[in-house]
Amino acid sequence: MVFQSRMDCRSSGYQAPVVPHCPRSARGKRSARKKAGNHQMSAIDLLANLASKLLSERENLPRPCFNDRASSPVGVDMTVELERIGRQKSLKSEAYDQLSCNEDEHCPENFNKRKKTNDLSNHSKALQATPLGPAALFAKSEILCEDAISEESKFVGENCKIVHGFDAIQKCGTKMLDSTTVESHELNAIRSRTPFQAEEKMERDLHMSCAINSINLNGNNAVLVSSDNSSEVPFGKDKIHHKVCFSKQEDDMRPSPDKDSENSSECTPSVITNVGGKTDLPGKRMDYTRQRTQMCSFVKRKFFEYYSASTSDGGIFCEANDTWSSTKAIKSCNSSPNYHGANDAWSSTKVIKSRNSSPDYHVKLRIKSFEVPELVVEIPETTTVGSLKRTVLEAVNTILGGGLQLGVLLQGKRVTDDSKTLHQVGISHSDKLDGLCFTLEPNTKHVPEKLTCPRDPHLLSLGCATGSPDGSPPAAPSATDQLGSDATQKCVKSFRENDHDSVLSSTNASSPENQISSSLVLVAAPPPPVNAEALAMVPHRSKPKSKSCQVAQRRVRRPFSVAEVEALVQAVEKLGTGRWRDVKLCSFENEKHRTYVDLKDKWKTLVHTARISPQQRRGEPVPQGLLDRVLLAHAYWSQQQSKLQVKSLHATETLLLLP
DNA sequence: GTTAGGG
DNA sequence: CCCTAAC
C-alpha cells in the first residue's frame, strides 16, 4: 500500500528530500543566461541557491502530506487503485513526486541517483511547497486520476518485458500444447545435418547404426508442455531449463492435443492478440499476425515428442515410455559438470550400449532428451494466460524457427568433421559413451531471411519473434530491455562461440556468470506497428545500401495518436512541464519509440496547436477538450515556474540585502 | 543523462 | 524529428 509505505519510511527514520521540481527554465533561460553572461548568472544562481538553503532551513517547510485525502490530488479512489496495483513501477514516478518517498523506498538506487544529480540549486526548490498540479484544480480531477491509474495498469498489464525469473509462469502453472505436423523436407533437412547421415554412407563394414531414429517423428504430433504440473517444476531458481524428450512411440504421458484445442491453435494467426496495451492501434494486429504466421509456418515441424521443464541442474526430465529393449539406467551426459549452463540446447543424452551387441558392432544410442536453452520471461500478473502461452510458445518457436543443427560432443569436445566415422572419432561399441552429447544449436543458415539481422541473426530472430515494441530492429538497444539486452547478447555471443569453436569451452559454460547467458531472454512487448510508416521503421539494411554509409538514419515520423496525446496531457497535468523524463517513465515507459525528447517536442507542438485556429491544424485532429487541457496545464505550470522564479529572485534579493 | 530551445 | 547548448 502506497500510503502506508510512505508512513513506514518516515517512521523508520528515513526522510525523503522535499524537492519540488524546479525546471531549468525557472532557473534562468538559456537566452537570458546568454545575455547576462555566464559568469554573472552563475553568481546569481549561486546566491539564489544559498538563499534558498537559508530560507529552507528557517522556514522548516512542512512535507507535503496527503493524509488528508481530500486535499490530495490523488484521491480516495486512486488509493484503492494504488493498493490494487501494488508496486507497479508506472506509479513510482508519481509516488515520488506526490508522496515524496515511495520511489526511493522501493528503489533506493533511484533515490541515490536523483540525490546525486540534484545539485545545490535544488535547495531552492524547497522554497516552494510541492504543487498539487493542475489536476487538483480541474473539476474532473478525480476521474482524471482514476483514468490515469487504470490506463497505467492496463499499460503494465499488457506488456511483457524481460526478466529474470519465471514467477509468472509459476503462478499460472501453464500447460502449453501445440500440435503441429512435420514437413518432411524440413525434417530431412534436420536429419541431413546430423553426423549420422554421413555416417550411413561410410564405413559400412562397421555396420554401425545409431538408434537416433527416435528423432524420426513422422506421423506423430508435437506437443509442448511447459510446467503443467507444478510439482514437476521446481521454480526455486530464477531460471528454468526445458528438456525436450524424444520417444519413438506416442505415450500416455503426452497430453492429447484435443484436450486443449484452443492451445493447439495458438500458433495460428487468428488467435493473435495484441499485447501492446496503449499502443493498440488498428492495423497493428495484421502485421504482428503476418510476422507470426511466417514464424509459425516456418516452425511447423514436429520436433518434440513432449516437452517438459526441469531445473537447470537437470534433475527432472520426462521419461518416455520405454520402447526399447534395454532399460538400464545409463549415466546421463547431463551429469557432466562441463555442460551445465552451456548455451547450446544440448541433449540430456543417455547413451546406451547395447547389451546384446551384434557382431556388426552397432553403437546404440538413446537420446533421452534434448534441452533447449533457458527461457526467461517476465509477464505482469495482469497478463492473460493466453498471452503467457503465446509468449512462451514464441520463445520455443524462435528457437526452432531459427533452424536447428545438431552438434555432437564427445568428452566435451565438439566433433566437427562429419565425414569421420564414429569409430574414428572414438564412438565405438567398446568405448564408454558417457561423454557423448548432442546439442541442438541455432543454425545460421536456416534463419528466415526476414529475420536475418545484419549484425546478428540470432539476436534479431529472437527479437522479431517476440515482437519488438517499436518495430525497430531488435538489434537496436531500444528494442530490448536492460537485462534482457545484456543477457540476450551474452547468449548470442555464446552461441557464436559455440558455433565457431571446435571445442566447447566447458569452463566458460559452467561458470556462474554464464548462467544467465545460457538463457534466451525474451522481450515480449507490444506488437510492432503495422501501417506503412511503421513498417518503414524496420529497415532492411540490406536494401537501402545507399544510405548505409551516411551517418544515422532519421527516425520515421510516427504521429502521436489521440490516446498518446491523452496520456501525455495527463502526465503533464500531474508532473508539470520540464519533467520529461518523469513523464516518459510515468506514461510512456513501455513505448520505447517515444523518448522524453519526443514527449517534450510533442507538448510543444500541442501548445502551439491549441493556440492556432482549428483550420490551421493539420494531421489527426486532437479533441478540443484535450487541447483545452493542454492550454490549462501549460498555463498552470508556466505560472508555477514564474512563481518559482519570482520567489527565487526575491530570495536572492533578500540575501543580497543581508549584511 | 536531462532539459530547453532553435531548426 | 534532429541537433546542440547547458547543466
**Residue spans per domain, chain A:** 2-158+561-657, 167-525
Instruction: Find the nucleotide nearest A602 (Cα to C1′).
Output: C1
Over residues A637-646, the pLDDT tens digits come to 988 888 777 7
Residue A374 φ/ψ, nearest 5 degrees: -55, 140
Q: Which pLDDT value is given to residue A607?
A: 93
Mean pLDDT calculated for residue range A494-516: 31
Q: Which residue has the cell 518516515?
A: A10
Distance A545 CA to B2 C1' (A): 34
Burial class (CB in 10 A: 0-12, 13-18, 19+), A624: exposed
Instruction: Find the nucleotide nearest A38 (Cα to C1′).
Output: C6
pLDDT higher at A442 or A364: A364
A605 has a pLDDT exceeding 90: yes
Nearest to A607, CA basis, from A593, A589, A590, A626: A626
pLDDT higher at A43 or A98: A43
Whole-number Å distance between alpha carbons of A640 and A21: 10
Q: Which long-range contacts (CB under 8 A, 24 or more apart) does A542-545 make?
A: A542/A454
Nearest to A192, CA basis, from A403, A410, A369, A495: A403
With contact defined as beta carbons under 8 Å apart, do A438 and A406 qualify? Answer: yes
Residue A145 φ/ψ, nearest 5 degrees: -65, -40
With contact defined as beta carbons under 8 Å apart, do A177 and A259 qualify? Answer: yes
Cell reading at A51: 538563499
Q: How confident is the model at residue A396 (pLDDT cuts 50, 70, 90)?
A: low
Q: How confident is the model at residue A363 (pLDDT cuts 50, 70, 90)?
A: confident
With contact defined as beta carbons under 8 Å apart, do A455 and A519 qualify? Answer: no
A570 has a pLDDT exceeding 50: yes
Whole-number Å distance between alpha carbons of A230 and A215: 28
Q: Which pLDDT value is given to residue A359?
A: 56
Q: Which pLDDT value is given to residue A560?
A: 92
Q: Which pLDDT value is given to residue A381?
A: 75
Over residues A216-273, the pLDDT tens digits come to 323 333 322 233 333 333 333 333 333 333 233 333 333 333 333 333 333 333 222 3
Residue type, A278: K
Mean pLDDT calculated for residue range A50-54: 55
Q: How confident is the model at residue A504 (pLDDT cuts 50, 70, 90)?
A: very low
Rg (CA), chain A: 30
Does any strand C atom come closer than 7 Å to the Cβ of A547?
A: no
Whole-number Å distance between alpha carbons of A513 and A367: 28
Cell reading at A559: 504521429
Nearest to A558, CA basis, from A600, A523, A530, A525: A530
A626 has a pLDDT exceeding 80: yes
Q: Is A577 left (phi over 0), alpha (psi -120 to 50) or beta?
A: beta
Residue ranges of alpha helices (H) inside A68-194 are 76-85, 92-98, 102-106, 108-117, 141-157, 167-172, 184-192
Angle in degrees, 0-180, between the axes of helices A624-657 and A38-59, rounded to the nearest 10? 90
Instruction: Work out the mean pLDDT of chain A and round it to a whole number.
Output: 48
Does any strand B atom come closer than 7 Å to the Cβ of A582?
A: yes
A565 has a pLDDT exceeding 60: yes
Instruction: Find the nucleotide nearest A23 (Cα to C1′).
Output: B3
With contact defined as beta carbons under 8 Å apart, do A401 and A461 qualify? Answer: yes
Mean pLDDT calculated for residue range A580-608: 92
Distance A540 CA to B6 C1' (A): 33
* DSSP element (H, E) containing A359: none
**Which DSSP letter does residue A306 get?**
E
Does any strand C atom come closer than 7 Å to the Cβ of A24?
A: yes
Distance A595 CA to C5 C1' (A): 19
Q: Which residue has the cell 543581508?
A: A658
Whole-number Å distance between alpha carbons of A241 and A347: 12
Over residues A449-492, the pLDDT tens digits come to 333 333 333 332 333 333 333 333 333 333 333 333 333 333 23
Exposure letters A195-227 (e unless 16+ CB within 10 A, then b):
bbeebeeeeeebebbbbbebbebeebbbbbbbb
Write out which nucleotides of chain C lie closer than 7 A to a protein Cβ: 1-7
Does any strand C atom come closer than 7 Å to the Cβ of A604?
A: yes
Does any strand B atom come closer than 7 Å to the Cβ of A578?
A: yes
